Amino acid sequence: MSELLKKAQIYQEERADRVPNTQRPSFHVSSPIGWINDPNGWSVYQGEYHLFFQYHPYNTHWGPMHWGHMKTSDFIKWERMPVAMAPDMEYDKNGCFSGSAIEINGEHILMYTGVYEEEVNDKKEVYQVQCIAVGDGKEYRKIEHNPVITAKMLPEGCSFHDFRDPKIWMKDGIYYALIASKDKDNDGQVVIFKSKDLKKWDYVNSLDQSEQRYGAMWECPDLFELDGQDVLIASPQFMEAEGLEFHNGNGTMCIIGKVDTSNKLIRDKVHAIDYGLDYYAPQTLEATDGRRIMIGWMQSWDNYITPEEFEWSGIMSIPRVLNVKNNRLYQYPVIEIEAYRNNKFIKDMSIIAGESYIQLIKGREIDLILKINKAECSCFEIKLACGNGRFTTISYEPMKEIITFDRTYSGLRKDVQCIRKMKIDPFHEDMEIRILMDKYTIEMFVDGGKYAMSSLIYTDLDIDNIDFSTDGQVDLVIEKYDICV
């Protein structure tokens, strides 16, 4: 074990337990100490689910990337593991960037991007290369053949600066890796490599490209088959807004189609994965029961709102089960969360203009399901973490077919993005809005997960009222549970 890795492991164990559990989310992965971002190595190993992540334990801001590590048996309770990797080799001395993992013959294989800098003609050049580490679920060693893929293996003109985030899988005895890249025209693309032994890799082709429309770099790509379709998910950088579908900056994207015999993705549908303020870099695994389960990083690169007094920064989303229906990716919280439901509240009622419902329900660790039967109004509002002049509003406008999330009055003291909107289907009976809240996280799923919206708030935890209001009448069934883990 290198001194850098040993230092990180000791630092984590000395500091992580100092963070009070009352401050942490209860059923979401959060940083043990310091900073985390992209989920990595989301995989099954020996019957348990392992999650690695980009990790800088020494600061609550991004820094030299390590791989942190947690595992779970039910997607809700998580066990902290030793730091898995540190930037301790020449080929990754500037960071162990994002990657993935698979189990092969009892070994846990990690594939990641190593980053290093060199002086070339008096200019500092950054190189990104793909590397392999092998372990037993707790300890990992980097293989001597690293780096196994370099930008020299790409077609002429492709970027060696932007070449990262490998997603590895095996099919018919061959290993494949899908990697984010930029082509000779500086256009975002995802490329495929293959190998028989994890050591010698060959370039296959470019699976799909941005075409100068969907951002300039597709980070953290993932490709899988689901419900008879091929699905590519990615996180484009430097996007330009398109209506309410895609927002500026870093976002998420799902492409549904079919991969043809030449390994090209023929698109049927392109849409955003999550419409909230804080969701990025999702990655999927196939669970032992066959479910496709996705987890993402709940934070925005451009809207850092972690409170200054926190010694940790970074939360992952609730793991979500995926399905494809009518050429659209649906996502819904894993059913395992239901085992932790307590204090059931259910009420069939009408919300009437001019009345307050703030004494009806409360909570900051809740599963709230609203089944709306009638919406004779122009706006229906749900206020969460409400009290002392603070609140976060979810507004549903049935005539405009828009849901708006607004954290302007959540207690923020930074000039950051607070409002985001998403377009949904026309109103129909039994329309469902499900809100899963874990102290600071608000994840909303509309109509069984056809639309998802994930955002953070850092309102004081003792502010936990929930209120409803409308300018007309809304008939609905309110079903609410406390989540106790």
Q: Transcribe 380-400 into DSSP letters.
A: EEEEEEEETTEEEEEEEETTT
Task: Give the pLDDT of residue 426.
Answer: 97
Residue 410, helix vs strand vs coil: coil
Amino acid at 231: V
Q: Residue 57, preceding bond cis, omega within 30 degrees?
A: no
Task: Give the pLDDT of residue 410.
Answer: 98
Distance CA 277, CA 453 (A): 8
Q: What angle do CA 301, 302, 308 make, to 5 degrees?
A: 85
CA 124 remoteness from chain centre: 32
Question: What are the angstrom distances between the C-alpha of 248 and each of 183, 189, 407, 473?
Answer: 22, 19, 18, 35
**Which is nearest to 8 in space by CA: 93, 68, 53?**
68
Distance CA 263, CA 253 (A): 20
Task: Give the pLDDT of residue 60.
Answer: 97
Strand order, beta sheet including 419-423: 361-362, 465-470, 380-387, 390-397, 402-406, 419-423
Longest distance between any two alpha carbons in the chain, whole Å: 72
Residue 1, helix vs strand vs coil: coil
CB half-sphere exposure, 136, CA atoms < 13 A = 1
Question: What are the angstrom distances between the C-alpha of 303 and each of 181, 295, 324?
Answer: 25, 20, 31
Residue ranges covered by each domain of the chain: 3-15+26-333, 339-483
Phi and psi (nearest 5°) for 339?
-70, -15
Distance CA 233, CA 285 (A): 12
Question: What are the angstrom distances between the C-alpha of 150 and each of 239, 246, 376, 469?
Answer: 27, 32, 60, 57
Helix (H) or strand (E) segment spanning residue 40: strand 34-45
Where in 200-340 does DSSP place strands (E)? 201-209, 217-226, 229-237, 253-259, 265-271, 280-286, 292-297, 312-313, 320-325, 328-333
Here the tokens at position 121 are 């003609």
Task: Give the pLDDT of residue 194.
Answer: 97
Distance CA 146, CA 310 (A): 37
Q: Provide the CATH number for the domain formed by 339-483 in this structure.
A: 2.60.120.560
Provide the Cα torsion 365, 367, 373, 377; round to 10°: 30
CB half-sphere exposure, 314, CA atoms < 13 A = 25
For residue 372, what are the contacts with CB-CB under 8 A and spacing of at least 6? 380, 396, 427, 430, 431, 432, 433, 474, 475, 476
Task: Give the pLDDT of residue 319.
Answer: 98
Distance CA 454, CA 435 (A): 10
Distance CA 446, CA 478 (A): 15
Task: Give the pLDDT of residue 216.
Answer: 87
**Which is nearest to 254 in space by CA: 238, 230, 276, 287?**
230
Residue 422, helix vs strand vs coil: strand
Provide the Cα torsion 424, 426, 431, 434; round to 10°: 10
Task: Give the pLDDT of residue 391.
Answer: 98
**Which is nearest to 464 in space by CA: 357, 365, 355?**
365
Distance CA 218, CA 221 (A): 7
CA 326 remoteness from chain centre: 23
Task: Give the pLDDT of residue 286.
Answer: 98
The tens-digit pLDDT sequence of the chain (485 residues) is 999 999 999 999 999 999 999 999 999 999 999 999 999 999 999 999 999 999 999 999 999 999 999 999 999 999 999 999 999 999 999 999 999 999 999 999 999 999 999 988 888 999 999 999 999 999 999 999 999 999 999 999 898 889 999 999 999 999 999 999 998 888 899 999 999 999 999 999 999 999 889 998 999 999 999 999 999 999 999 999 999 999 999 999 999 999 999 999 999 999 999 999 999 999 999 999 999 999 999 999 999 999 999 999 999 999 999 999 999 999 999 999 999 999 999 999 999 999 999 999 999 999 999 999 999 999 999 999 999 999 999 999 999 999 999 999 999 999 999 999 999 999 998 899 999 999 999 999 999 999 999 999 999 999 999 999 999 999 999 999 999 99
Distance CA 229, CA 213 (A): 23
Q: Would you give the DSSP letter of residue 274?
A: -
Do 206 and 189 form a contact (C-beta atoms < 8 A)? Answer: yes
Task: Give the pLDDT of residue 182.
Answer: 93
Residue that is written with structure tokens 């698979």 in the block: 102
Q: Provide the CATH number for the domain formed by 3-15+26-333 in this structure.
A: 2.115.10.20
pTM beyond cutoff 0.75 = yes
